[in-house]
Chains A and B, each alone.
Chain A
């Protein structure tokens, strides 16, 4: 589903990483780890075309990332950024955001499915009717994970999904991600995490320290 070949990204004169190769297939959960600032999140952004690499290629579902194809590639991705703070007043409003997009109009928004995901992640469905500032960081993280799953995209890109979660919630989130990867036709999951409890459950862990120039 995702193939990265010889990818290299610079910020100004500084080379973040180079010659990066990675393959994530359907049913696989891959985790990038390494010290802060080594380029893990940048790699996720490069997959979505938010960062231009100086070398290498990104191929999603057989389509190479170019300015002409970036939109088609983004159609195949569900993205959960790190520490996302959206200017929404209500949780329900935040949940609905991606489903108002044309690309997701074919994906029917099911309240039952959302409630099921909430339960799996240990969330109370009454959260939906709360104001966004009333929910904790950990709850927000799990809500975003549920929204990402609801989009039913073949490639799921998640940045630090468990950074604000306790042991029990991390376990639930990990099981949820594993289930996402394998159920139905399967999805490819590319994640970034510093959390050893999360990494343990991933199929592949790539330490970015080795890719630093």
Chain B
């Protein structure tokens, strides 16, 4: 396979002009999305250029300690994002989310790098940074959906929770219907996506690898593993978060505390 053709800054600018087409339709149908699209596009350009700069240095230094420091930063940024998107009280969920993200990313990420890929240096930036990055991104999006679903349903359907508890259910049994709903809502899209992968659309990792010069054979194997590790890490982090958050979500009698911000 050949090497990747670089996109010149001139080419990038010309390419960006394509955005004028969606902007035109957003404007014409008065969607109110024009400003958000322009702001979003500017933020994307700035953020990705910045990421490009620090990734360049991460790869240049290739130091395990710096790589781990970067993983910690990703975990804290993801936690902040999850907290802001869920309206849940910081003191209830902050530590559970941090521990959930960190433990799952390290367990699943290092399993993939060490056991599956059998790398000599599992802390090397070339593999560690992208793998942990993709794990964090997926854990964040599924956790936000799952936590929102779990807590919103728990508050709305308190009758069911207390009915089960009052009839002898353990707290684990009484919350099981809510955990079930949260898992279904958060993981159904990923599972549906898995089932049509390669038929309806070519997945991102695979495209990236093919553009990067890998053979399709290598690309599909990476794609399979990426799906497996992201789903596994996401469910693990959710379970850890819910388990740890339970101590502050319920009082010593199992009654639900106020979890949403006032």
Q: Interface residues, chain A, CB within 8 Å of chain B? A: 48-50, 52, 67, 70-71, 74-75, 77-79, 81, 84-87, 97-98, 101-104, 151, 153, 157
Do A86 and B160 form a contact, CB below 8 Å, given A70-B254, A101-B173?
A: yes
Closest to A83 in B: B159
B164 touches A50 (CB 8 A): no
Do A157 and B166 form a contact, CB below 8 Å, given A67-B252, A84-B159?
A: yes
Chain B positions 149-207 with a Cβ under 8 Å from a chain A Cβ: 157, 159-160, 162-170, 173, 177
Count chain B residues whose beta carbon lies closer than 8 angstroms to a beta carbon of A: 18
B residues within 8 A CB of A97?
Answer: 163-164
Q: Interface residues, chain B, CB within 8 Å of chain A? A: 157, 159-160, 162-170, 173, 177, 252-255
B169 touches A87 (CB 8 A): no
New A-B pairs, 15, CB < 8 Å, besides A74-B166, A104-B168: A48-B165, A50-B255, A81-B162, A81-B166, A86-B160, A87-B160, A101-B167, A101-B169, A102-B170, A103-B167, A103-B168, A104-B167, A151-B167, A153-B168, A157-B166
A74 touches B167 (CB 8 A): yes
B198 to chain A, nearest CB (A): 36
Taking a contact as CB atoms closer than 8 A, the residue among A49, A78, A84, A98 that contacts B253 in the complex is A49
User: Could you name 7 residue pairs across A and B whose Cβ atoms are closer than 8 Å?
Assistant: A67-B252, A74-B165, A79-B163, A79-B166, A87-B160, A98-B164, A98-B167
A204 to chain B, nearest CB (A): 22
Closest to A103 in B: B168
Docked pose: A70 CA to B162 CA in angstroms:
13
Do A71 and B170 form a contact, CB below 8 Å, given A81-B159, A87-B157?
A: yes
Docked pose: A78 CA to B169 CA in angstroms:
11
B residues within 8 A CB of A153?
Answer: 168
B97 to chain A, nearest CB (A): 26
Docked pose: A77 CA to B164 CA in angstroms:
11
B252 touches A84 (CB 8 A): no
A residues within 8 A CB of B177?
Answer: 87
A173 to chain B, nearest CB (A): 19
A residues within 8 A CB of B168?
Answer: 74-75, 77, 98, 101, 103-104, 151, 153
B residues within 8 A CB of A52?
Answer: 253
B138 to chain A, nearest CB (A): 29
A34 to chain B, nearest CB (A): 22
Closest to B177 in A: A87
A49 touches B254 (CB 8 A): yes
A48 touches B166 (CB 8 A): yes
B residues within 8 A CB of A70?
Answer: 253-254
B residues within 8 A CB of A81?
Answer: 159, 162-163, 166
Most buried by A among B163, B164, B170, B177: B163
Most buried by A among B163, B167, B169, B255: B167
Docked pose: A85 CA to B160 CA in angstroms:
8
Taking a contact as CB atoms closer than 8 A, the residue among B163, B165, B169, B170 that contacts A84 in the complex is B163
Do A50 and B173 form a contact, CB below 8 Å, given A67-B253, A70-B253?
A: no
Docked pose: A102 CA to B164 CA in angstroms:
11
B257 to chain A, nearest CB (A): 12
